């Protein structure tokens, strides 16, 4: 298994988030001449990171409108997850289904004892049971490698930064906050920050995503004992995702880097996922092809 020093990585992400929000607060304070914004953003950083630690799983599941399923409602899912978690000797996560028609899946939570695995209705319709087993092996290894806290917190960080960027964009476009007492405000600076904020959010997600996808592919294939099952699933997703586009908005963007495949532009330079063809080739090489 690949643990990735994820406790340290998450601590570093939290520190980066508090620093970035404090920097934003300083920028606003210099622009407006009031230091209150520095302290406001510092408090937002501390509160948001604490909240994201305890509630990141709930946030991701809510953004995808997921609902928890029972064994009677999803017997195949339960059978596969039970078998694989027992084989790994690890706790079994709760199982959720999202009504999204796009085929995809993700894992979330703060640790293996408080984790959830979610499949979209689209992936349940697209894949056969062998391929679904490969996908669930991949997602379970995100849980057991402790990737999920890192990815969940980075998603929350990205969401906050993007939201603040949009707030700046609105302020710059409407001239809000440029009253007589605020002659020093800088709308151009606000506009530049609004443009840079989504880029910064993407870089944060990119920094924690690509390597862990390769490792979850490898470890998941070892867990199932069938690398070609996951390779076959990825081939189906490669065509199934563009055929069923997911709406791109604040909700789905927060969760996108957690998914087994990029739900948006799969070939993007700043994609949070490695190229699909490389993932498939590595799995085929594991199987001796």
User: What pTM value is reported for the model?
Assistant: 0.77
Q: Is residue 240 part of a domain?
A: yes
Is the residue at 1 inside a domain? no
Q: Is residue 251, in this structure, part of any structural domain at all?
A: yes
Q: With both helix axes pointing from N to C terminus, report the angle between 6-32 and 187-224 in degrees, rounded to the nearest 10.
A: 170
Find out whether 138 is annotated in a ligand binding site: yes
Residue 75 to residue 78: CA distance in whole angstroms: 5
End-to-end CA distance of the chain: 23
What are the φ and ψ backbone dihedral angles of 248, each rounded to 5 degrees? -95, 110
- Print the domain residue range for 226: 6-286
- Residue 82 to residue 78: CA distance in whole angstroms: 6
The CA distance from 43 to 37, in Å, is: 10
Tell me if 213 is assigned to a ligand binding site. Answer: yes
C-alpha pair distances (Å), 166 with each of 105, 139, 219, 251:
28, 32, 39, 14
When divided into structural domains, the chain yields a total of 1
The sign one gets for the Cα dihedral 20, 263, 96, 207 is negative
Q: Please check if 142 is assigned to a binding site.
A: yes
Length of the chain, in residues: 289
- Cβ pair 2, 219 in contact under 8 A: yes
Q: CB of 154 within 8 A of CB of 257?
A: yes
Residues of the chain with pLDDT under 50: 177-184
pLDDT digits (tens, 9 = 90+) for 81-136: 999 999 999 999 999 999 999 999 999 988 899 999 999 999 999 999 999 999 99
Is 141 within the bounds of a domain?
yes
Tell me which residues are annotated as active site.
Answer: 139
Residue 14 lies in a domain: yes
């Amino acid at each position: 298994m690949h643990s990735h020093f994820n406790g340290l990585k998450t601590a570093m992400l939290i520190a980066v988030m508090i620093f970035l929000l404090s920097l934003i607060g300083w920028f606003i304070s210099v622009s407006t001449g009031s230091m209150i914004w520095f302290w406001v953003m510092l408090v937002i950083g501390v509160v948001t990171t604490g909240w994201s630690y305890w509630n990141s799983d709930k946030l991701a599941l809510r953004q995808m409108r997921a609902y928890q399923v029972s064994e009677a409602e999803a017997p195949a899912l339960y059978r596969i997850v039970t078998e694989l978690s027992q084989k790994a000797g690890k706790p079994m996560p709760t199982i959720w289904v999202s009504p999204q028609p796009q085929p995809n899946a993700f894992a979330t939570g703060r640790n293996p004892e408080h984790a959830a695995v979610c499949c979209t209705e689209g992936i349940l319709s697209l894949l056969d049971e062998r391929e679904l087993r490969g996908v669930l092996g991949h997602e379970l290894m995100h849980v057991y490698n402790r990737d999920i806290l890192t990815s969940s917190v980075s998603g929350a960080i990205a969401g906050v930064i993007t939201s603040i960027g949009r707030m700046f964009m609105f302020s710059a476009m409407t001239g809000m906050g440029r009253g007589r007492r605020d002659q020093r405000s800088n709308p151009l600076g606000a506009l530049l920050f609004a443009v840079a904020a989504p880029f910064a959010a993407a870089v944060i997600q990119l920094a924690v995503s690509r390597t862990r996808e390769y490792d979850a592919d490898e470890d998941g294939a070892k867990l199932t004992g069938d690398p070609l099952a996951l390779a076959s699933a990825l081939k189906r997703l490669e065509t199934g995702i563009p055929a069923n586009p997911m709406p791109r908005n604040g909700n789905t963007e927060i969760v996108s880097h957690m998914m087994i495949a990029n739900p948006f532009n799969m070939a993007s330079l700043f994609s949070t996922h490695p190229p699909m063809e490389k993932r498939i080739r590595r799995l085929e090489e594991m199987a001796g092809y």
